[in-house]
Amino acid sequence: MNGKEKVQLSLNHQQGQGVAIDFGGTPVTGIHVLAIKNLRDYYGLENRPVKVVEPYQMLGEVDAELQEIMGVDTISVPSRKNMFGIENSNYKEFKTFWGQTVLVPGDFNTEMDQNGDLIIFPEGDMKAKPSAKMPKSSYFFDSIIRQGVIDDNNLSVEDNLEEFKQISADDLNYLKTAIENASNSNRAVVANMGGTALGDIALVPAPFMKSPRGIRDVTEWYMSLMMRPDYVKEIFEKQTEIAVQNLQKLFDAVGNKIDVIFICGTDFGTQDSQFCDPQTFDEIYKPYYRKVNDWIHQNTSWKTFKHSCGAIEPLMQNIIESGFDIINPVQINAKGMDSKLLKEKYGSQITFWGGGVDTQKTLAFGTPADVEKQVLEQCQILSQNGGFIFNTVHNIQANVPINNLVAMINALKKFNGK
């Protein structure tokens, strides 16, 4: 089987030989540019700058050479513009704090602030206020909160709808071309058109907008679930309406050439608990998730991808009932996220995408033997009767020991009989 067939088989909860593998298919299953460089060096590939495909988290391109080495079965189709509202084109070289030369989009414009930290500007416009900062000791950006004074008597739903618009002709043409090209790769096409996320705290501060209005502070947004539930629901209702219209336009352009579509990255879990209880989830989120998922399932063959970190087992059935086909990342080190329990209770109802190795402890700080053991154990548990795509617990970070990354890759080959 080719990669597309392996992924489709598992998504349909059918047992295949080995596991399907994703690295770089989404902005939450990627690899930091430094780790990409280390992998390329280890395998003796050409020494050239790594392309940054997602600058907010400084994720690097998993190119064709690495896809082959790592056994990747997916291919990513991201949005035309990145998290800073910058078009992914006209790449140029950029020197990072850690001394690596990478390729960034042409309008990736930065300055040093008075503390020596790196600030970046929305849409590359250096006349605008900076929207994110990379501390000099860091390896990725954090949003700068640009929250104005909130006047509850004059809150406008339209302010939090600024970025939710009808898809432009340029964006649609880009996606059409990119998806058609990706569909010829024999790998599963994982598309991210944007505009379908509800309350994703990476997006709430709007680092891609010059002057975002509405509720843009992460803390204030979470409090709004309790303080302003009707306001939030009205936002979600209108966002969902626009999203479904755009999904229709995308389907009209590409049909069923998409295998998986990234819907939402809203996190509902901490290490030990949840950001909301099941009742709040069902009241505020579920109706709108259901509307998007129902449209997709009634009109396409696409599978829908939901990301949420943390201890979300108490919300798992609610997520399933919202219509999602896939949950990522399966944070196996969080409270209650035991692989055997999850597979037994929910494995026939949803596909687990990720959770193949713990990135917080085992991959980052364990030995190669520890990594191999956990990868083989997790694959054995989660791949039974399909419904599992291998990835780590969230993105692979910058300073993961190269021997541990190689141990993970070799363990996957061993499990897949290669």
* Range in 122-131, 147-156, 234-243 the model is least confident about: 147-156
Mean pLDDT of 394-408: 97
Q: Which residues pair with 189 in a beta bridge?
A: 75
The span from the CA of 346 to the CA of 323, in Å, is 13
Q: Does residue 17 have a pLDDT over 90?
A: no
Q: Does residue 221 have a pLDDT over 90?
A: yes
Q: Does residue 313 have a pLDDT over 90?
A: yes
Neighbours of 327 (CB within 10 A): 24
pLDDT tens digits for range 337-366: 999 999 999 999 999 999 999 999 999 999
- What does the pLDDT read at residue 148? 87
If one compares 148 and 401, the residue with the highest pLDDT of the two is 401
- 95-123 as b/e, with b when 16 or more CB fall inside 10 Å? ebeeebebbbbebbbbeeeeeebbbbbbb
Mean pLDDT of 109-131: 97
* 247 confidence band (pLDDT: 50, 70, 90): very high
65: left (phi over 0), alpha (psi -120 to 50) or beta: alpha
- What does the pLDDT read at residue 70? 98
- What does the pLDDT read at residue 207? 97
CA dihedral 54, 209, 133, 75 (to 10 degrees): -10
Task: Report the topology of domain 3-90+149-415.
Answer: TIM Barrel (3.20.20)
Q: What are phi and psi of 332, to 5 degrees?
A: -65, -15
Q: Would you list the domain boundaries of the chain?
A: 3-90+149-415
* 8 confidence band (pLDDT: 50, 70, 90): very high
CB 144 within 8 A of CB 156: no
| Percent of the chain residues topping a pLDDT of 70 | 100
* 63 confidence band (pLDDT: 50, 70, 90): very high
- What does the pLDDT read at residue 418? 83
Mean pLDDT of 307-331: 97
Token pair 């896809």: residue: 67
- What does the pLDDT read at residue 16? 87
The span from the CA of 302 to the CA of 278, in Å, is 27
* 235 confidence band (pLDDT: 50, 70, 90): very high
